[in-house]
Structure 1
Amino acid sequence: MRKVLLLSVSAMILLSSCVSKKQFTDLEAKQKETQDLLNSATVKLNSCIEERASATARATALEEQVIDLRKSNDNLTILSSKGASNIEKTLESIKEKELKITRLQDALTQKDSITLALVTSLKREVGINDPDIEVNVEKGVVYISIADKLLFQSGSYNVNSKAKDVLAKVAKVINSKPDFEAMVEGHTDTVPYRKEPLLDNWDLSVKRATSVIRVLQDLGVNPKQLIAAGRAEYVPLVENNTAENRATNRRTRIVVLPKIDQFYDMIEKEMKNLAAGGN
């Protein structure tokens, strides 16, 4: 474009000496028109260059955004996958815990069912209508409480003949539950006791317990199921402040309970089944 302009100027100079004034004016006008066109083209070119640079910058920014979005999408996909996996693992863990709870509840329900059946048998066999004999359940354990006046003479640890009829009924129920144990507890009042060879209420309570156990053994109860215990005067039902209350506290209690080791063996077995994935 500049070469054309220089040629035009040169031509005008060369021709000025040999062209008319009118021709010179026309050439000058054309030169001006050409210059205006050149200026306009230059402005447009600069504008296009600026627009191209701006467009290039926008395109670069957009490309960077696309790359970032792709990375974010990839990360989101990874996070979503991990999240779904974690949710599945959590649900599986919850199901396993629910299954464990259900199995343990089943084991406890089984124990409670056996206890209920045992209470029913005892009440039927022993005769719950007797006010001196009580059968009840506390914390899943069956208790048979027999007043001392049914078992012993005052100050004696020899079981009387009348009591053997009651103990025979208890023995029948214990024999029907070979997986249970029977702990015989002797309880006294607070009146001091000392009669050779016994030294105190501890000795008397234990001696009465072993006397009952011997009768139960004679009635066919497996001695491996029997436990002798003495509590002396230290677990009273009421205050030892009257003769009637002291009579209430003098009692023999037979505790019929499932063998603890077997019960926990059952629980442990269920836990091992769960760990192994068994049904």
Structure 2
Amino acid sequence: MKHSFWLLLVLTTSLILTGCVSNGKFRNLEAEYKELQAELQGSQLRLTECDTRAKGIEDRLAEAQKNNEKLRGALADMQNSLNKSLSQNSQGNTNIAKLVDEINASNRFIQHLVQAKNRSDSLNIVMINNLTRSLTRSEMQDLDIKVLKGVVYISLADNMLYRSGSYEISDKAGQILSKIAKIILDYKDYDVLVEGNTDTDPISRPNIRNNWDLSALRGSSVVQALQVNYGIDPKRLTAAGRGEYNPIATNSTPEGKERNRRTQIIITPKLDQFMELIEQAPKSSLDAN
């Protein structure tokens, strides 16, 4: 309305300045005025619509920018999570590699133990085969013989060798010692240790102070019997006593004490002889690989 007022004022002023005009020209001017007024109203309407659309666009833009910020934050969180995951994965790969190395090392160690056991078993087989050269199967069954890592262990109960409560060799011990002498003579270069053992019951004899004395005297008696009666070279023989301090069973029962009262004869190869045994031992399938 403000613009229409000014337009009318301009036309009136023009008429005043130019003097009187014809009716036809006035109507033309009036028509133009109405046309211009209609265009002005249309422009104002379009301007209002544009303002409204612009406001809507600005609101959507602000919302889009807000959403964009959220998306940027979410992206940053995802990137951090990805980096952390990659770092953990890298550490996990390192841990897995270490675990694989440890498993491989453990497998190698187990294989080494298996090879060692197979070689030890092979040595034992060689030694047992060699023992059969000295004794028959029935004679070997009469003795408690074990072969461990190329060493022969013969364990004899005290009642098989000695008079009761004594270190003197009994008459019936000769049959046992003759079999042991066969083995020792067959292994002519091996060292022989005769080791006496007792239970925990104290000894009460005037010439024997304690179980140390008794065990050592018993070992010495067997050594001298092997030397004198069976011609074993004394340089190969060693007498020892371990008293009550090397039990293989409990001393709280009569049966356990009986097992602990024993004499062990240990036949041991020297290093070069041991290496010869290794050469004789058949190779295992693992060694062949």
Give 2:84's aligned residue. Answer: 75
Structure 1: distance between partners of 2:56 and 2:241:
110
Structure 1: distance between partners of 2:68 and 2:260:
98
Matched, 1:11 2:7: yes
Give 1:40's aligned residue. Answer: 49
Which runs of no fewer than 5 residues in structure 1 stay unpaired? 241-245, 260-279
Structure 2: distance between partners of 1:67 and 1:191:
85
Which runs of no fewer than 5 residues in structure 2 stay unpaired? 16-25, 271-289
State the AA in 1 paired with 2:196.
E
State the AA in 1 paired with 2:184.
A
Given candidates 62, 69, 72, the residue that maps to 2:71 is 62
Give the drift of 1:43. 0.9
Give the drift of 1:143. 3.9
1:137–1:185 distance in 2 versus 1, CA, 3 Å: same
After TM superposition, list the pairs within 5 Å mapping 1:70-149 onto structure 2.
70-122=79-131, 124-130=133-139, 133-137=142-146, 143-146=153-156
Contact 1:213 1:228 in 2 (8 A): no
Structure 1: distance between partners of 2:188 and 2:46:
125
Deviations 1:164-200 (A, max 9, x none): 533322313655656xx63422559x89773x63467
Could you state the TM-score of these two structures normalised by the residue count of structure 2?
Answer: 0.60
Structure 2: distance between partners of 1:249 and 1:62:
84
What is the number of residues matched between the two proteins?
Answer: 245
Deviations 1:76-131 (A, max 9, x none): 33322222122111110221122223323433443344344434444552445249
State the AA in 2 paired with 1:185.
G
Contact 1:186 1:252 in 2 (8 A): yes
Give the drift of 1:46. 1.4
Matched, 1:168 2:177: no
Q: Which has the larger radius of gyration?
A: 2
Could you state the TM-score of these two structures normalised by the residue count of structure 1?
Answer: 0.62
1:35–1:214 distance in 2 versus 1, CA, 3 Å: same
Q: Secondary structure at the residue paired with 2:154?
A: strand
Please give the root-mean-square deviation of Cα atoms over the aligned residues, in Å: 4.7
Give 2:61's aligned residue. Answer: 52
Deviations 1:214-262 (A, max 9, x none): 4456613754x74522557x878x948xxxxx8x997643245799xxx
Matched, 1:207 2:220: no
Q: Secondary structure at the residue paired with 1:185?
A: strand
1:121–1:151 distance in 2 versus 1, CA, 3 Å: farther
1:215–1:137 distance in 2 versus 1, CA, 3 Å: same
Give the drift of 1:38. 1.2
After TM superposition, list the pairs within 5 Å mapping 1:140-159 onto structure 2.
143-146=153-156, 151=161, 157-158=168-169
Matched, 1:220 2:233: yes
Give the drift of 1:211. 1.9
State the AA in 2 paired with 1:254.
I
1:112–1:220 distance in 2 versus 1, CA, 3 Å: farther
Contact 1:182 1:227 in 2 (8 A): yes
Contact 2:154 2:265 in 1 (8 A): yes
State the AA in 1 paired with 2:53.
K
Contact 2:169 2:221 in 1 (8 A): yes
Return the structure number with greater relative CO, CA threshold 8 A, min gap 6: 2
